[in-house]
A and B are shown apart, each in its own frame.
Chain A
């Protein structure tokens, strides 16, 4: 069992840029560790070198809700992007849309990635910019985002939400279907039974075949 995750309340910080790709969230040269932690210092690694960058400001050091723009987390599948956001202290990211793989990775690691309409996100970003103490609550149980200015509903992947609310392990849950997986394997065609069946083990063997 993991710790069930139902809701998070925290200070918001706005990153008002669209199409923030995972190469920006964590540049590839910082993705060499063998662990899932140790990435806090390399979150937005290149942008953090700019003194004016928002996460370098002392008033935002306690922020745990990132308000982003359109297509956040686009690009590479690196889960390090999610680990880095978590390591820095983020528990939720609110954006108008997300890169597909990032969204899936986020929920798998208990980072609440929530998509809301453009005007709502713009309003949240404005408040966060005006007041570093501005708080946002993301409630996974009720599927709502709440501030002192209102409440908005969002959608979440059904399975991911259920796993998080109940503190369940994804693989454990799938392995309850072990019989169905074994049944499926029995039905697979012979030429798919192994990746090496029908395939060549070396370029030389393939070349000889082409020559023949």
Chain B
């Protein structure tokens, strides 16, 4: 095997090396820096204390998403409001484009940046948010960073990073029609574990991936971090180019062909090696749901809550016992018998137009059960506008669901959309950690169609049951 054969991850990495030395991390250039209010104030402060300015404000885009309420434009919480205010001051001071609450471009950072065409193949993208992996759907190397790294990127437009090991994840075969992108990624995390890809960057491959829309690819890449890998990429193809073509400003038409030539080269070479290869046969895959308190604790929806003693190691058994205690579940209970109080449709994982369409198709002409509160939170105000144009808002409202403004909402308990007391929620978001959606909230991660069917039935359910 010749050493000139490279995989996709290596190609994107190597094209961004500003400086390298043996034994040292590579200094990597960052093409796009996404910013939100919750992880950035201390970074801007640090910059100011050191008397530095933002090196490339033109390569940054800021959004208000974590703290925004989704039932009103008025932020009532003083600390959340202070974070938003500080972001506005910082962006104005440094000349960074900001889409604020009330702007028709506002929404979740990982929904807005791709839908406006800011994310392109072969880019490096960072954000002070672990779900930055979403943008790998475009063949971009995209990963979350902490606030210190946010400051470093603001000041230098680079990061000094150890090259990750590379992992090929191939979905083998074609999944049944009722299996969604969310099920693909939940099944993968259950297969390799919540820390199974730690230290790696993943390339997702196989026909099942190629067949996905950009929205579906973003769902898969979004939850890469839940497998422990910071970045997960999908090679750009005709689907990617068609999506980008619709979002390419005619004023830059002269650049298009050159860009496409480059993007076409962003494929893993025939015979290129990966540090690890994982295959997952998806031919007989079923809709997945989590039963525990990390995203790896998931089983098919028609399965049962596993008994702790069926796990291999004492540590896993202990973790399962603790998870069941928190979740208020007994071993061997069928997941379809688990009653739900709240359904959350939204987040950077499943808050895009296709997700809303899929859920609306299930809910059309049906009613949300009396025992259920259902929130529908579009991932961006543009998604909301599009959905309203298609009449999806009517479908949700007629069914008895709440139709909200855009933000991170109930994905994480930082804003007003927080569960009080012990409540059980079927959620299309990405994390089922203890206390994530409210101090005692019990989260089951599901796809949008399972969320919709669950809302109708009142317990975890697939659309095929309706």
CB neighbours (8 Å) of B246 from chain A are 206, 209-210
Report A47 CB to chain B, min CB distance, Å: 9
A69 CA to B79 CA, complexed, in Å:
33
Chain B 243-277 interface residues, beta-carbon cutoff 8 Å to A: 246-250, 252, 255-256, 258-259, 262
Given A77-B130, A170-B152, A19 contacting B198 (CB threshold 8 A): no
CB neighbours (8 Å) of A191 from chain B are 120, 252, 255-256, 258-259
CB neighbours (8 Å) of B230 from chain A are 100-101
Residue of A nearest to B43 (CB): A79
A99 contacts B228, CB within 8 Å? Answer: yes
- Is B166 in the interface zone, CB < 8 Å from A? no
- Is A119 in the interface zone, CB < 8 Å from B? no
A204 CA to B23 CA, complexed, in Å:
49
Given A19-B194, A34-B41, A199-B116, A174 contacting B50 (CB threshold 8 A): no
Residues 324-355 of chain B, each 1 if its beta carbon lies under 8 Å from chain A, else 0: 00000000000000000000000000000000
- Is A70 in the interface zone, CB < 8 Å from B? yes
- Is A2 in the interface zone, CB < 8 Å from B? no
Q: Which of B168-176, B368-376, B421-429, B432-440 contacts A (4 or more CB under 8 A)?
A: B432-440
B195 contacts A71, CB within 8 Å? Answer: yes
Report A113 CB to chain B, min CB distance, Å: 13
6 contacting pairs across A/B (C-beta < 8 A): A27-B435, A100-B229, A170-B148, A174-B160, A180-B19, A185-B157
Residues 194-207 of chain A, each 1 if its beta carbon lies under 8 Å from chain B, else 0: 11111111111110
- How many chain A residues touch B (CB < 8 A): the figure is 68
A203 contacts B435, CB within 8 Å? Answer: no
CB neighbours (8 Å) of B29 from chain A are 181, 184-185, 188
Can you add 18 more A-B contacts, CB < 8 Å, to A191-B120, A203-B115? A18-B316, A27-B413, A74-B194, A79-B42, A104-B146, A105-B147, A158-B24, A159-B25, A191-B255, A192-B123, A195-B59, A195-B97, A199-B116, A200-B117, A201-B116, A203-B105, A206-B115, A206-B246
Q: Which of B195, B248, B436 has the most CB of A within 10 A?
A: B195
- Is A75 in the interface zone, CB < 8 Å from B? yes
B195 contacts A74, CB within 8 Å? Answer: yes
- Is A130 in the interface zone, CB < 8 Å from B? no
CB neighbours (8 Å) of A100 from chain B are 198-199, 228-230
Q: Which of B42, B50, B80, B83 has the most CB of A within 10 A?
A: B42
The 4 closest A-B pairs by CB, nearest first: A105-B146, A32-B79, A191-B255, A79-B146
Option from A34, A69, A99, A157 in Cβ contact (under 8 Å) with B162: A157
Given A27-B413, A71-B198, A203-B105, A76 contacting B130 (CB threshold 8 A): yes
A32 contacts B83, CB within 8 Å? Answer: yes
A183 CA to B158 CA, complexed, in Å:
13
A9 CA to B246 CA, complexed, in Å:
59
Q: Which of A33, A75, A77 has the most CB of B within 10 A?
A: A77
CB neighbours (8 Å) of A27 from chain B are 413, 435, 439
Size class of the contact patch on chain B: 35 or more
Q: Which of B59, B128, B418 has the most CB of A within 10 A?
A: B59
A34 CA to B436 CA, complexed, in Å:
21
CB neighbours (8 Å) of A205 from chain B are 249
Given A17-B322, A19-B195, A203-B382, A175 contacting B155 (CB threshold 8 A): yes
B315 contacts A18, CB within 8 Å? Answer: yes
Option from B97, B160, B225 in Cβ contact (under 8 Å) with A159: B160
B61 contacts A79, CB within 8 Å? Answer: no
B228 contacts A194, CB within 8 Å? Answer: no
- Is B31 in the interface zone, CB < 8 Å from A? yes
- Is A109 in the interface zone, CB < 8 Å from B? yes
CB neighbours (8 Å) of B58 from chain A are 194-196
A132 CA to B23 CA, complexed, in Å:
40
A205 CA to B104 CA, complexed, in Å:
12
CB neighbours (8 Å) of B31 from chain A are 188, 192
Report B190 CB to chain A, min CB distance, Å: 14
Chain B 1-58 interface residues, beta-carbon cutoff 8 Å to A: 18-19, 23-25, 27, 29, 31-32, 38-39, 41-42, 45, 50, 52, 55, 58
Option from A19, A28, A199 in Cβ contact (under 8 Å) with B412: A28
Report B318 CB to chain A, min CB distance, Å: 8
Option from A23, A36, A188 in Cβ contact (under 8 Å) with B42: A36
Residues 88-109 of chain A, each 1 if its beta carbon lies under 8 Å from chain B, else 0: 0000000001011100110011
Option from A24, A169, A183, A194 in Cβ contact (under 8 Å) with B434: A24
CB neighbours (8 Å) of B319 from chain A are 17-19
A77 contacts B252, CB within 8 Å? Answer: no
B83 contacts A198, CB within 8 Å? Answer: no
